[in-house]
Amino acid sequence: MAQLTERPADWVSTAPVVVENSRPIAAPVETVWERIADHETWPEWFTDLSSVAVTFGAEGVGGGRDVKVPGMTVKERFTAWEPPHRFAFTLFEGPRIMTSMAESVVLAPDGDGCTITYTQGIEPAKGFGWLVKLAAKRLDGQQRAALDELAALVE
């Protein structure tokens, strides 16, 4: 594991590698936000995560959590917390193939439901651009599946 450069919430969409998916959900923004703000239940819908543990502050900018994914635990710090519309975080400890990674979840009202947009931004470490781009294809599939699972839980 390596110490990563922390990035602000708005950096996500301008990162060298961006993975983004949007999906309509037939549930109100507040209902979807409740699931997103319930950190420990993320593995129920983001099934590539094995566990999520709040380590300092469950809510608000500066809070954080440890997230176990296959083979490692990454450490995250919240960089945006705007209930019920926006949640973002930056990794401050993660794999050596990157120098930065940040993620953002945005919920926008859409009729009786909402649209969720999940964005991951990654800056590869020197010499690992090819590997991060390859990993981005897998992340895209994980995102799509997670959003489908989230929708199934709240609709």
List, for residues 108-128, the tens digit of each pLDDT value.
999 999 999 999 999 999 999
Prediction pTM value:
0.96
CA–CA separation, 107 and 113 (whole Å): 10
pLDDT value at position 34? Answer: 97
Condensed to tens digits (0 to 9), the pLDDT of residues 15-67 reads 999 999 999 999 999 999 999 999 999 999 999 999 999 999 999 999 999 99
- What CA–CA distance (Å, rounded) separates 46 from 118? 12
Which of the 8 DSSP states describes residue 6? -
Mean per-residue pLDDT of the chain: 97
What phi and psi, each to the nearest 5 degrees, are found at residue 59? -135, 150
Domains defined along the chain, listed by start? 2-154 (3.30.530.20)
Residue pair 67/47 in contact (Cβ under 8 Å)? The answer is no
Q: With contact defined as beta carbons under 8 Å apart, do 70 and 76 qualify?
A: no
H runs (alpha helix) in the chain:
29-37, 42-45, 129-154
Check residue 122 and give its pLDDT: 98
The pLDDT of residue 129 is 96
When computed from its CA atoms, the radius of gyration of the chain, rounded to whole angstroms, is: 15
